[in-house]
Chain A
């Protein structure tokens, strides 16, 4: 018995080390994300902008305050939000392939944006030539919010979680069809704007929008704190969760609300950024070798932030002459990294 608890204590030390290291690399990547880019900026200048404004040249200060800092913040928040959402979905659906978009939140948001961008060209409503990001975000947010409402309605009435899953997939299919129809009928320029939106963009957000994202992420994460214990028990499925005292419907509403908020704001402000939400929870489980959400949620927060910041750095490395769409980087950089982790981990396990 003694030996077993010694092992547990040992495990705690290892865990503390991982959490410490991941926090440190997140801070480093955050700074690096601001420093690197078409115009190089020194770390000293960043600190001067933040703490001693008068010492920096105005154009450098402008780049940091209006471009690099909001962008890095967006990357951080997107990484955190999608990873935690993905973890919740994989647990509640007991499916390793579930992702934050499985409930149809991004489809709903896409429909909102498509109606706004493409619908206006279809129905020949004259839009201001420069469509502001905030309008797109609002359209996406309305779409996501309506989807959330629909999900909650369904989850209250339907008992079986797999039926909820099928409903989500069907809903996504229906919205994709409507979006396809709009794409087919819309003008070329509107179509391009929409396609670019689907590739994701971390650099669209102003500092005020980042504040909104931050607030929504905070609400989403606070909600998760209340479902940690429920998520743990839901690993065993609805029946066992009920018999140990969980009100499964209430838990579902809490978890769906949190996921929809976290995912909805990402899609609204940065577009449907793929893949992070499905991969990060798996990386977290492999790193920490536990299924306990008290460990996995902070792990997902840290790993998600790290990976998203890393992808953002790659997307704007000097030498391209442009910033690559984030979804493309996430796919090209993220997939090999994750396959490598999975393969190396398999070697250890089996």
Chain B
């Protein structure tokens, strides 16, 4: 079983990204859980969302304390939220950031596992003309975890977006482009 914890801010789509990841993994035949931790819902407040993905049925119904992977959708959280708490060192953290590797290593004090970064702002603005970090972050975590192949993700998301954006089809191509760029640009530091 793979356990993933998402850290974002209200309004950035971390919850939606966790549900899309659950959807995509479901479509490859897995057992999945996707759930946010509900608190006072406020734009900009730190939020957490979770995924469990497994080949076997999942019975655990608690939050995730020792994740295999962590996704940080907003790097301003790095100094205020203990994002690496419980994170397994054989796992990885994926951060939306343009900050230097030195800064990241310093701020993730003591975490010795793999660190991946991606500039989701640049990708989103290039592909969509707006800042929606969740689509690039979804691609990044799929790439890092290897839950499915690039092709499987792209094919699956195309049909998800068609459904999700039925009323605004003009954003489908931009979101697909954001996924494609993100799959290429996520890198280990």
The finding on whether chains A and B are genuine partners in a shared complex, rather than unrelated, reads no
